[in-house]
Amino acid sequence: MRKLIALLLATFATQVTPAWAEDVHSVPQVDIKRYLGKWYEIAHYPMYWQRKCVADTTATYGVGEDGKITVDNKCRKEDGNFDESKGTAVSVPNSGNAQLKVTFFWPFSGDYWVIGLEPEYRWAVVGTPNHEYLWILARAPKLSAEELKAAQDAAVAQGFALDKLVYTPQSAPQ
């Protein structure tokens, strides 16, 4: 019995830690003023709230009268109409505005961590610390091949798998 336990312990001790078990880190700082405005979804991990979205997904960020960040998510459904979700976000203290708590249905909130950000704010990679959700966002409806690769590399560096990404068709600026 001791030999079996020793063998099992040795086997588990030598296992490679999977990428999804690695810690996720947000970028050091996000300039909220530069981050505000419209972002086009380039790709995302599948999620329940986006199950009806087929194209033209955008997220627009602003500042409300209460100082909270406003969130306006839109997407085109199969019938051609748009679906819209509005919420608010607040910065997590000491996160350099790179980690937000987003609320669409009070009192529930979710993590929104900027884990990759192009220096000119042309694209951003947003994920959750548990690797459950991931979005690649851009200021334009499409990214160049080089920009997309850089955004994908930022996701992979944080332990996210690219094979789970669903790419979002964008028909034109809205």
Name which of 56, 44, 74 is nearest 135 in CA terms. Answer: 44
Q: Is residue 3 part of a domain?
A: no
Quote the domain boundaries for residue 88.
22-167
How many Å apart are CA 18 and CA 33, to the nearest integer? 36
> 71 phi and psi, to 5 degrees?
-125, 125
| Residue 133's CATH number | 2.40.128.20
Q: Where are the beta strands (DSSP E) in the chain?
A: 37-44, 53-63, 69-77, 82-91, 99-105, 108-117, 123-127, 134-138, 166-167
Q: Is residue 172 part of a domain?
A: no
Per the structure block, which two tokens stand in for 99? Answer: 């980690």
Q: Is residue 116 part of a domain?
A: yes
Q: Is residue 11 part of a domain?
A: no
Q: What is the pLDDT along the chain (174 residues), one digit of tens a residue?
A: 333 333 333 333 333 334 444 589 999 999 999 999 999 999 999 988 888 999 999 999 999 989 899 999 999 999 999 999 999 999 999 999 999 999 998 788 889 999 999 999 999 999 999 999 999 999 999 999 999 999 999 999 999 999 999 999 998 654
Number of folded domains in the chain? 1
- pTM metric for this prediction: 0.84
